[in-house]
Structure 1
């Protein structure tokens, strides 16, 4: 996820009754006295009562876990390794965070028996932890933000829950975005080559449609997928849940919203986000805008398409 300061922006089943909200647990991977363990004294802000920098940041992670957990149902705990590390950054442009599944899994018993699923979702489908020796998601955020040489004019992270971030960058929104990727808003296809991971499709890929060829990505050759990743505003999401929800979320009547496929490949961003042309701005666009709230908008519908069960709150 990246920031474009000029724009104030930062650069992943129907049910009856009540479904159990999935538990998302934060695993603190920061060293002593750094990041989530930073003992620097701070004032409470925006509903976040903590009085040290590290505790405030950890509270924001927990709030993001609570928001996502209230939307997705599941019986298997999702563990997220979280840390602050230096990421690519300048005074005008920077990577704010990155996240993704730490492993993937396929099984003949899954709804789509031949494709990769991100491990957090695979665990829910299997009803057990399939990778007990490691966490499910790795999420890293820029420790240099606000310092000299890294978007210093933005003043660093905003740690409140109320959205009153002003010129600062709202950490809660960024974490919600990155958790989305870790939960499944991404493809395992190598967009530079069009190759599928180990020659096997992934569940996200099965909903990507190239509108020029009118074919799903699973129907394309490697070279065709490589070209499709650069087919600007001609790749859409073709899933029933998104199609049903789109009219109530988007201001334009399109049942198959566009995915982000700029003519120049952006590693880590191309294909794995909604297109920036969608309105209103969505959480899972490649840049994040100041008008975003802490809602999950169309993202939960995509999660439903790839196999997550939603809670009764959705």
Structure 2
């Protein structure tokens, strides 16, 4: 799985809201597909894996609602999160494919935010400001591969699995991919240009403030542009230093991989490098750069990272 920021016109919109408990954040899905495509595909299908939809479009929308429900109940917030979503042909071959892409549509900094100098993705910035800071556009834009399972695009995998029960077999579990991409849109990414090491408008982002290069023994915010560029290629030596993740990692990761490393392969991968957990971590995590068949629909270390960057998590019963 990978992510990248996408810009485009809104087009005709259909809106669906998901609300959990009173403390949960509301996530609103904006259907940006055209007639007879994606979420509007009328092709008849049989209900599968607790998904009662009877058309391809209805099943896809149901999975989106399920992902919004899971993420909505995991985070607290007073301002709805608006997700502009659609299907489109994404990069793909018989052996490799981009399953989905997502990211914030804007970012903000404010002297009243916990870190006054850092960029915050708009969905989080809205919660900190307790208002919608940009009412004219959605907060997250997401696209998913419409060609999956077709000739030339991972056809041996059989396409998307639209059930909620995890019985995907060789198919790609759509709910897992959605949970992953929602994570990017909510803040699991850096705005640093990994090919140059430059920060966005010369200002750090909140995700970046928790990155630490073990070789240089410095946080990313204390590195020069060239040093950050080098760090983005420093395989196995960039880790997350945030209290929530550090505590959760002791419970979630195996004893052999206790350090939450970020994905920094020696060859930079646009949309993947730095903005994912490293593939070496065990067990496999939701926010790794490739999908793993043993993933459940849990959020593992992802919610701890959200807490580190500023999201409030609902109180849980001991």
Q: 1:4-26: CA deviations, max 9, x gaps?
A: xxxxxxxxxxxxxx971000011
> How many angstroms does 1:179 deviate by?
0.4
What SS does structure 1 have at the residue aligned with 2:126? helix
Q: C-alpha distance in 2, partners of 1:286/1:120?
A: 22
Aligned to 1:218: 221
2:59 aligns with 56
Residue 37, structure 1, aligned to residue 33, structure 2: no
Q: Is 1:79 aligned with 2:79?
A: no
Structure with the greater relative contact order (CA < 8 A, sep ≥ 6): 1 or 2? 1
3-state DSSP class of the match of 1:290?
Answer: coil
> Which residue number corresponds to residue 138 of structure 2?
135
Report SS of the residue matched to 1:92.
coil
Distance 2:257 2:158 in 1: 38
Pick aligned residue for 2:194 from 191, 194, 200: 191
TM-score (norm 1): 0.94
1:236 aligned counterpart, secondary structure: strand
Q: Distance in 2 between matches of 1:197 and 1:210?
A: 19
Aligned residue for 2:60, secondary structure, equals: helix
Native 8 Å contact 1:282 1:292 kept in 2: yes
TM superposition shift of 1:311 = 1.0
2:123 paired with 1:123: no
Q: Displacement of 1:187 after TM fit?
A: 0.1
Q: Give the 5 Å matches for 1:260-271.
A: 260-271=263-274
Q: Secondary structure at the match of 1:242?
A: helix
Q: Distance in 1 between matches of 2:57 and 2:221?
A: 44
Question: Mind listing any 5+ residue stretches in structure 1 that lack a counterpart?
Answer: 3-17
Which secondary structure does the structure 2 equivalent of 1:114 belong to? coil
Measure the CA separation in 2 of the matches of 1:250 and 1:235: 17
What TM-score, normalized to structure 2?
Answer: 0.92
Paired with 2:220 and 2:56, the residues of 1 have a C-alpha distance of 44
Question: Is residue 216 of structure 2 the alignment partner of residue 245 of structure 1?
Answer: no
8 Å contact from structure 2 (residues 257, 281) kept in 1: no
- The partner residue of 2:236 within 233, 236, 240 is 233
How big is the alpha-carbon RMSD for the aligned residues of Structure 1 and Structure 2?
A: 1.2
Task: Mark the CA change 1:271 to 1:163 in structure 2 (over 3 Å): closer, same or farther.
Answer: same
Deviation at 1:266, TM superposition (A): 0.4
The count of residues paired between Structure 1 and Structure 2 equals 299
Structure 1 residue aligned with 2:305? 302
Q: Aligned partners of 1:89, 1:188: CA distance in 2, in Å?
A: 25
CA distance in 2, matches of 1:113, 1:239: 17
TM-aligned CA deviation for residue 253 of structure 1: 6.2
| Structure 2 unaligned regions, length at least 5 | 3-20
Moved more, 253-262 or 289-298: 253-262
Work out the CA distance in 1 between the residues paired with 2:217 and 2:188.
Answer: 22
| Conserved? CA contact 1:71–1:310, under 8 Å | yes
